[in-house]
Chains A and B, each alone.
Chain A
Amino acid sequence: MKIDLMKSLLVATTALLALSGPVHAQDAKPAYAPVTDEMLANPPAQDWLMYRGAYNNQGYSALDLINKDTVGKLQLAWAWPMAEAGIQETAPLVHDGIMFLQTNNNIVEALNAKTGDLIWQYRHVLPEIPASWSYQANQARRQKNSIALYQDKVILTTADAKIVVLSAVDGKVVWEKQVLDYNLGYSYTVGPIIADGKIITAISGCSIAGTAGGCYIFAHDVNTGDELWRFNTIDDPNNPKQEASWGDVPAENRWGGTPWTTGSYDPATKTTFWGIGMPGPYSELIRGSGDGSVLYTNSTLAIDIETGKLKWYYQHLPRDNWDLDSPYERILVDQDVDGKTQHLLVTAAGKNGIVFALDRDTGKYLWHKDTVVQNVVKSIDPDGTVNINTDLISKAVGEEHLVCASVSGGKLWMTGSYSPLTQAYYVPLTEACNTVAPTQTEFTAGNAVGAVKFGPRVLPEGITDAGLLDAVSINPTQGDHIWQARSRPSMTSSVLATAGGLVFGGDAARDIKAWDQKTGDIVWTQRLNAPVGGYPSTYEIDGEQYLVVPTGYSNAASSISSAFPEIPLPTGSGNSIFVFKLPKATN
Chain B
Amino acid sequence: MFRFLAVGLALLATTAAFGQSSGIPPEEMNNTRRLAGDAINVCFDVTSLARPFDEEIAKAIGDALFLQVNVIEGFGGFPLNGDGFIDELTLAMNNTCDMFMGVSISANSPLSDAFSLTRPYATMPFVIAVAEPDWQSLGDIPKDRKLGTAMASLGEMNYITWAQQQAKPDRWIRFPYADFDKMATRVLDGTIAGMILWQPALARLQKEHPGADKLRIVANDPIPVADINVGALVSSRNTFLRSQVDQAIDALVQDGTIAALMEKYGYEGHAGE
Question: Within the complex, what minimum Cβ distance (angstroms) separates B50 from chain A?
Answer: 7
A572 contact from B13, B20, B27, Cβ within 8 A: B27
A residues less than 8 Å from B59 (CB atoms): none
Q: Count how many chain B residues have C-beta atoms less than 8 Å from C-beta atoms of the other chain.
A: 83
Contacts A87-B25, A138-B22, A559-B17 given: A446-B176 contact, CB under 8 Å?
no
User: From residue 382 to 405 of chain A, which have CB atoms closer than 8 A to chain B?
Assistant: 395-397
Known A135-B83, A446-B49: A573·B25 in contact at CB below 8 Å = yes
A146: shortest Cβ distance to chain B, in Å? Answer: 12
- Which A residues touch B146, using CB under 8 A? 248
- Any B CB within 8 A of the CB of A407: yes
Assess whether A281 is interfacial by the CB under 8 Å rule: yes
Is A139 touching B160 in the complex (CB atoms < 8 A)?
no
In the complex, whether A277 has a CB less than 8 A from a CB of chain B is: yes
* A446 B201 Cβ-Cβ under 8 A: yes
Q: Is the pair A209, B80 in contact by a Cβ cutoff of 8 Å?
A: yes
Complex: A299 Cα to B201 Cα, angstroms = 37
A261: nearest residue on chain B (CB-CB)? B19
Docked pose: A413 CA to B20 CA in angstroms: 5
For residue A457, which residues in chain B have a CB less than 8 angstroms away from its CB? 13
* Contact call A131/B75, Cβ cutoff below 8 A: yes
Q: Does A363 contact B (CB under 8 A)?
A: no
Considering the chains assembled together, what is the distance between the CA atoms of A131 and B45 in angstroms? 8
Chain B contacts of A408 at CB under 8 A? 17, 21
B65 beta carbon closer than 8 Å to chain A: no
The reply to whether A445 and B103 contact each other, CB–CB distance below 8 Å, is: yes
Contact assessment for B87 and A138 in the assembled complex, using a CB-CB cutoff below 8 Å = yes
Q: Are A131 and B161 in contact (CB under 8 A)?
A: no
Distance (whole angstroms) from the CB of B22 to the closest CB of chain A: 6
**A448 in contact with B151 given A3-B72, A571-B1 (CB within 8 Å):** yes
Taking a contact as CB atoms closer than 8 A, the residue among A1, A4, A141, A281 that contacts B152 in the complex is: A281
Q: Are B160 and A2 in contact (CB under 8 A)?
A: no
The contact string, 1 if C-beta is below 8 Å from chain B, for chain A 433-477, is 000000111111111111111111100000000000000000000
Contact with B along A556-573 (1 / 0, CB 8 A): 101101100000000111
CA distance A253 to B192 in the complex (A): 12
> Complex: how many Å from CA A396 to CA B164?
7
Contact with B along A243-254 (1 / 0, CB 8 A): 000001110110
| B92-100, B211-219, B239-247, B256-264: which lies at the interface | B92-100
Q: Are B15 and A260 in contact (CB under 8 A)?
A: no
Interface membership of A300, Cβ < 8 A = no
User: Quick one: given A85-B27, A442-B109, A455-B14, are A450 and B81 in contact (CB under 8 Å)?
Assistant: yes
CB distance from B49 to the nearest CB of A (A): 4
Say yes or no: A325 contacts B230, CB within 8 Å. Answer: no
* Stretch of A35-43, A229-237, A283-291, A367-375 contacting B (4+ beta carbons < 8 Å): A283-291
Establish whether residues A260 and B47, one from each chain, have CB atoms under 8 Å apart when the complex forms. no
Query: How many residues on A have C-beta within 8 angstroms of the other chain's C-beta atoms?
Result: 91
Is the Cβ of B26 less than 8 Å from the Cβ of A573?
A: yes
A136 partner residues in chain B, CB cutoff 8 A: 77
Among B80, B150, B160, contact of A208 (Cβ-Cβ < 8 Å): B80
A260 CA / B49 CA spacing, docked (Å): 31
Please tell me if the beta carbons of A439 and B108 are within 8 angstroms of each other in the complex: yes
CB within 8 Å of A: which of B158-199?
A: 160-161, 164, 173-179, 182, 197-198
By a CB distance below 8 angstroms, the chain A residues around B15 are 450, 454
Task: Let me know if A212 and B160 touch, CB within 8 A.
Answer: no
Q: Could you tell me if A444 and B77 are in contact, using CB atoms closer than 8 angstroms?
A: no
| A558: chain B residues within 8 A (beta carbon) | 9, 12, 23
What residues of chain A lie closer than 8 Å to B80, measured between beta carbons?
207-209, 255, 280-281, 448-451
Q: Does B157 contact A (CB under 8 A)?
A: yes
Taking a contact as CB atoms under 8 Å apart, the answer to whether B79 and A85 are in contact is: no
Check A442/B153 contact, CB under 8 A, given A87-B21, A130-B46.
Answer: yes
Q: Does A314 contact B (CB under 8 A)?
A: no
**Does B55 sit at the interface, judged by CB under 8 A?**
no
Q: Given A138-B84, A571-B2, A445–B230 Cβ distance below 8 Å?
A: yes
CB distance from B21 to the nearest CB of A (A): 4
Shortest C-beta distance, A302 to chain B (Å), equals 19
The closest CB in chain A to the CB of B229 belongs to A445
1/0 per position for A131-147, CB-CB distance to B under 8 A?
Answer: 11111111101100100
Question: What 0/1 readout, one digit per residue, does chain A (99-139) give for beta carbons within 8 Å of chain B?
Answer: 00000000000000000000000000000001111111111
User: Which B residues are in CB contact (< 8 Å) with A260?
Assistant: 18-20
In the complex, the answer to whether B103 meets A451 with C-beta atoms within 8 Å is no
| Neighbour of B19 across the interface among A212, A277, A562, A571, CB < 8 A | A277
Question: In the complex, which residues of chain A have a beta carbon less than 8 angstroms from the beta carbon of B77?
Answer: 130, 132-136, 185, 208-209
Most buried by A among B5, B16, B197: B16
Instruction: Give the residue name and chain of the B residue nearest to A86 (CB).
Output: B25
Q: Is B43 an interface residue (CB 8 A)?
A: yes
| Cβ A446 vs Cβ B153 within 8 A | yes
Please measure, in the bound complex, the distance between the C-alpha atom of A359 and the C-alpha atom of B121, giving whole angstroms.
Answer: 61
Inter-chain contact A439/B151, CB cutoff 8 Å: no
**Which residues, 167 to 197 on A, are CB-close (under 8 Å) to B?**
185, 189-190
**Interface residue? B91 (CB, 8 A):** yes
A555 at the interface (CB under 8 A from B): yes
Given A85-B25, A444-B47, A444-B103, do A249 and B83 touch, yes or no (CB 8 Å)?
A: no
B154 interfacial contact with A, CB 8 Å? yes
Pairwise interchain contact A452-B16, C-beta atoms closer than 8 A: yes
Cβ distance A268 to chain B, nearest Cβ, rounded Å: 28
Say if the beta carbon of A89 comes within 8 Å of chain B: yes
- Which A residues have a C-beta under 8 Å from some C-beta of B? 1-5, 85-87, 89, 130-139, 141-142, 145, 185, 189-190, 205, 207-210, 212, 248-250, 252-253, 255, 258, 260-261, 277-278, 280-282, 285-288, 323, 325, 327-328, 395-397, 407-409, 412-413, 439-457, 553, 555-556, 558-559, 561-562, 571-573, 575
Known: A89-B20, A142-B20, A286-B151. 10 other contacts (CB 8 A): A134-B84, A209-B77, A248-B175, A285-B164, A286-B160, A323-B16, A413-B20, A443-B85, A448-B153, A450-B15
Could you list 23 A-B pairs, sorted by A, with CB under 8 Å? A1-B97, A2-B75, A85-B25, A85-B27, A132-B77, A141-B28, A207-B79, A255-B79, A255-B178, A281-B152, A397-B164, A412-B20, A441-B108, A445-B103, A446-B150, A451-B151, A451-B152, A453-B14, A453-B108, A454-B16, A553-B25, A562-B13, A572-B26
Binding site for A on B (CB under 8 A): 1-2, 5, 9, 12-23, 25-28, 43, 45-50, 72-85, 87-89, 91-92, 95-97, 102-104, 106, 108-110, 124, 126, 146, 150-154, 156-157, 160-161, 164, 173-179, 182, 197-198, 200-201, 228, 230
